Amino acid sequence: MSCDYTKTTQCQERTKDPLEMFHSGHLVKICAPMVRYSKLAFRTLVRKYDCDLCYTPMIVAADFVRSIKARDSEFTTNKGDCPLIVQFAANDAQLLSDAARIVCPYANGIDINCGCPQRWAMTEGYGACLINKPELVQDMVKQVRSQVENPKFSVSIKIRIHDDLTRTVDLCRKAEATGVSWITVHGRNTEERHQPVHYDAIKIIKENLSVPVIANGDIKSLKEAENVQEITGTNGIMVARGLLANPAMFAGYKETPLKCIWDWVDIALEHGTPFMCFHHHLMYMMERITSKQEKKVFNVLSSTTAVLDYLTDHYSM
């Protein structure tokens, strides 16, 4: 499968304020930023199944600003890809502002990654280490606010929590005072991976802020999303792995329907999705609906033709 990326085009709804969704009183359903996975083709798929707002994968702002090649490969969108938030990894307010100005005509806002716990990101001063640098976070929010001319362009942050939750609340209040649009809280600390999510902590953060708060972490069905919103009082729910396993989750499906699988095939082929990404998405989607023997066969297929033949033979609608 060729890698013929769709050219970046201006978002037809970029003048729409994403904040309006969070004040609608309805559950706002959000596709999380996922490295390699939340790209244009997958965003197109989940939007067909009631996803309200999508994030790009994390993009390193410094590389994005300095390299045309990085811009062309890391950020792809089209007119139907709205509303859209571009997530950046950054530790420099001016570079982040420069990156925000570049994407402003093509997106509804940017998000600052303050939650990635991977060692490389924290070593570079990105991601979750920023929850310990509230003044830097404030500076980055302030700079983007002052340098992007569109007043409806959102500036949000995605964070993890501290063991001492008062520090997290303090960080959030400082970001709020500087003009952050909303805050997404992954309810784990930087050391936790598969431990239970601290929804009680998200609830406390929400109760201490006026800006919208989004809950994130281990949500695998629409029912779970609704329950977490009820527990936390948050304005929206962000999902990562749950959507990989079932892109139709937000439409109420308990497992990936066949139509969604074939929708992915059509969208991926149309967008020229590289084979590895195309195949991996299908492996995730079919995890719950295939037997161990079927997985052994399907997961080692090595070409688009072989995958299409397999799906036609075993999963025709």
Q: Where are the domains of the chain?
A: 18-247, 258-315
Domain range 18-247, its CATH number among 3.40.50.300, 3.40.190.10, 3.90.1560.10, 3.20.20.70: 3.20.20.70
Q: Is the pLDDT of residue 63 over 80?
A: yes
87 marked among binding-site residues: yes
Q: Is the pLDDT of residue 192 over 90?
A: no
Number of H helices and E strands in the chain, helices first, is 15, 9
Give every CB contact of residue 179 below 8 A, 6+ residues apart in sequence. 141, 142, 145, 155
CB atoms within 10 A of CB 155: 25
Residue-wise pLDDT for 250-275, tens only, equals 999 999 999 999 999 999 999 999 99
Cα distance between residue 263 and residue 64, in whole Å: 31
Which residue out of 11, 51, 104, 116 is catalytically annotated?
116
Q: Is the pLDDT of residue 153 over 90?
A: yes
Choose among 109, 101, 106: nearest CA to 155: 109
* Residues forming beta bridges with residue 155, ordered by sequence position: 110
Task: Output the pTM of the full model.
Answer: 0.94
- Considering the chain, what percentage of its residues have pLDDT values greater than 70? 95
Q: Is the pLDDT of residue 224 over 80?
A: yes
User: How far from 157 is each of 109, 121, 187, 264, CA to CA, in Å?
Assistant: 11, 16, 14, 30
Q: Is the pLDDT of residue 313 over 70?
A: yes
- Considering the chain, what percentage of its residues have pLDDT values greater than 90? 88
On whether the CB atoms of residues 90 and 98 are closer than 8 A, the answer is: no
Choose among 273, 205, 223: nearest CA to 215: 205
Give me the pLDDT at residue 15, please. 55
3-state secondary structure of 206: helix
The owner of tokens 């937000």 is 250
35 marked among binding-site residues: yes
Confidence of residue 62 (pLDDT cuts 50, 70, 90): very high
Q: Which helix (H) or strand (E) holds 259?
A: helix 258-271
User: How far from 181 is each of 94, 177, 212, 299, CA to CA, in Å?
Assistant: 19, 10, 7, 41
Cα distance between residue 14 and residue 83, in whole Å: 7
Give me the pLDDT at residue 24, please. 85
Choose among 114, 109, 86, 81: nearest CA to 22: 109
Q: Is the pLDDT of residue 109 over 80?
A: yes
Give me the pLDDT at residue 10, please. 53
33 marked among binding-site residues: yes
Cis omega (within 30 of 0) for bond into 247: no
Give me the pLDDT at residue 6, please. 39
On whether the CB atoms of residues 39 and 74 are closer than 8 A, the answer is: no
140 marked among binding-site residues: no
Cα distance between residue 130 and residue 49, in whole Å: 34
162 marked among binding-site residues: no
What average pLDDT does the chain have?
A: 93
What region, left, alpha or beta, does residue 256 occupy, with left being phi > 0 and alpha being psi -120 to 50 degrees? beta
Residue 9 tokens, joined: 């085009």
- Is 116 marked active-site? yes
